[in-house]
Amino acid sequence: MTETTTAVKEQVATFRNHIEALRTEIGKAIVGNREVIDGVLICLLAGGHALLEGVPGLGKTMLVRTLAETLSLTFSRVQFTPDLMPADIVGTTVINENEAGGKVFDFRKGPVFAHILLADEINRATPKTQSALLEAMAEQRVSVGGRTYPLEAPFIVLATQNPLEQEGTYPLPEAQLDRFLFKLEVPFPNREELHEILDRTTGIDVGTPQAVVDRAAIVQMQKLVREVPVARHVQDFAIRLVQATHPDGPDAPKTVQRFVKFGASPRGAQSVLLAAKIRALFEGRFAAAVDDVKAVALPALRHRMILNFEGEAEGIKTDAVLTEILKSIPETKALATAKGAAVGVS
């Protein structure tokens, strides 16, 4: 065994130890929802953002707050309302008086200048306010008053929204939805989980999560994710998966051709591949597999597909369409030779 192989195994083992420690601490406050917890952790380690959707009372806000408590990172919360202004998120420039009596412009940072930003009920703010997050989410920086201010890594936006109550809400624009690495649907707990929730919340002994991973460890884990190798056929499967979400895609099944108007963007392929790498590390493997791509396909792509009128009228769910795609496309396929230059996506 070479020194490089030994070092990689040690890094993967350390990575998994951190993940198990985070799961344990989060589990002190959150019952069940393992897939949602892992989804949020994947977004953090990929340097992406997560949109958590579920009816009120399922613990979406508590999950985000608990995650912040288990990490030695700064945390901000913004309650999105119709009267919220962009300056309430990114900050504003004010005029102050210096020691010499002159006037100077000072920038007062908004809550976006944190490692973890909870955008609670994000769809209640106006599109103008929602768009204030676009630059921060895409480029990890904020432009105010002709100046640009970088956001310290790691930076993650965890947004929540209620799928039932639509009155007084503003649907998120497609450009902003595409910035979310995952859209996570928070399910209603089962009977056993409800017993556990009631035991914890109506009794005396309430577990308190502790910080177990610091910023330096998170940054190192993010670096390790980028180093995970991906075989060509695995990457090709991710590409064909994204192509199949388009009605005119070469592998698009009849369900897509009939009900989908627009498919996922190239950013969707990036999200799938990064998430597949992290899932491999979760399993103790230093190489992504096709099964990893399949496992992350729904949360990575469900919000990136736009149904046509017929799909909306029939009540078709994008999860059902994606499940049909995963069943229809083969795991391997001969790669045809194509002429022309490749176009990079940032």
Domain boundary among 186, 218, 250: 218
Q: Are residues 269 and 160 in the same domain?
A: no
Q: Are residues 265 and 189 in the same domain?
A: no
72 found inside a domain: yes
Residue 114, pLDDT above cutoff 70 = yes
Question: Which residues in the chain belong to E strands, given as ranges?
Answer: 50-53, 71-72, 75-79, 91-97, 103-109, 116-120, 141-144, 147-150, 156-161, 182-185, 213-214, 260-262, 306-307
pTM of the model: 0.86
Contacts of 174 (CB under 8 A, 6+ apart): 306
Question: Which structural domain range is residue 302 located in?
Answer: 229-328
pLDDT bin (cut points 50, 70, 90) of residue 18 is very high
| CATH number of residue 25's parent domain | 3.40.50.300
298 found inside a domain: yes
Q: Are residues 233 and 209 in the same domain?
A: no
- Report the domain count for the chain: 2
Q: Are residues 291 and 247 in the same domain?
A: yes
Instruction: Specify the range with the lowest mean pLDDT, choosing from 3-12, 101-110, 155-164, 297-306.
Output: 101-110
Task: Classify burial at 236, counting beta carbons within 10 Å of its beta carbon; exposed 0-12, middle 13-18, buried 19 or more.
Answer: middle
Q: Are residues 306 and 176 in the same domain?
A: no
92 found inside a domain: no
Q: Are residues 210 and 233 in the same domain?
A: no
Q: Are residues 172 and 58 in the same domain?
A: yes
Q: Are residues 179 and 245 in the same domain?
A: no
Residue 20: what residue type? E
- How would you classify the pairing of strands 103-109 and 213-214? unpaired
133 found inside a domain: no
Domain boundary among 194, 218, 242: 218
Q: Are residues 177 and 241 in the same domain?
A: no
pLDDT of residue 343: 39
Q: Mean pLDDT highest for which of 47-61, 196-210, 291-305?
A: 291-305
Residue 331, pLDDT above cutoff 60 = yes
